[in-house]
Amino acid sequence: MRCLTKDTVLNILIYQGSAIAANKAANLAQVQRISHSASLLGADAVVFPELFTTGYNLGAQLRSLAEPLQGDSFHQLADMARRYQLSIIIGLPETDAGKLYNSAIVIDKQGQLAGHHRKVFLFGNQEKQLFTAGTRFQTFELCGHTCGLSICYDIEFPESTRTLAQQGAKLLFNPTANMTPYYQVPNTLARARALENGLTVVYANLCGQEGDLHYTGQSALIAPDGTDIARAGNDPCLLMADVSAYLQQDSGRRWSTQLQDLKEWQQHG
């Protein structure tokens, strides 16, 4: 039985693909197929893009598709996590007290909710009119590793990842729905967040077309020195790598001189 533990192999698999608009049953069936494949490939965790259970570009229709945090979709995902003995990280629309949130969850291999994030930085007028913004960035433990969770546009703000790094995160999961023409986000900003904080970034994007949006793809696992461990192109794919070597306690010091100098400045400034 696999477990995400320190000093062991930690294989993370990203699914880069398209969701079927407004069809939760079909998207959950796809999650199950990919999770089964991930398990056969030896993955410990599988990561899906932003709002993958429903599709992203649906406007007000998301209100009728949203569920409470631990609604029916959660229970189906939890069953998959237990069955395939891996963690599932995925974006979904959440409703709570009459408010709609763009959320992401982490379900561990026991089928328990390990992490939960509501998108803080909402992108564009449509998101701001539709969703209520989250208010915080918080870490969670996944079998001995301190991790962070953010969603898409959150990663474009240095403060978001720095907040998680200051809480001890060594691994950041970022389900996203990044669209053209914003190729600088996966290729520049996601790499910068890894380098300036000495942590590993898991950037899981959509690809293809959904309505009038064209997604950039370019999903990646990014090392703490800002270089790619693995990088997708523009087409559907599975992307997997072992990130265990990058999660050591001193990784920030090894990868970035700025982090050590910043720490000294904070202590003596």
Hey, which residues are catalytic here?
A: 50, 119, 152
CA atoms within 13 A on the CB side of 63: 10
> What are the φ and ψ backbone dihedral angles of 118, each rounded to 5 degrees?
-105, 125
Residues 190 and 61: their CA atoms lie apart, in Å, by 30
Task: Give the tokens for residue 169.
Answer: 């995160």
First-to-last alpha carbon distance for the chain, in angstroms, is 48
CB 241 within 8 Å of CB 222: no
Say how many C-beta atoms besides its own lie within 10 A of residue 262's C-beta: 15
Tokens of 155: 């990663």
Phi-psi sector, 203: left (phi>0), alpha (psi -120 to 50), beta: beta
Helix, strand, coil percent values for the chain (each to nearest 5): 35, 30, 40
Q: Are 11 and 42 in contact (CB under 8 A)?
A: yes
> How many beta carbons lie within 10 A of that of residue 61, not counting itself?
15
Looking at the DSSP bridge assignments, the partners of residue 241 are 12
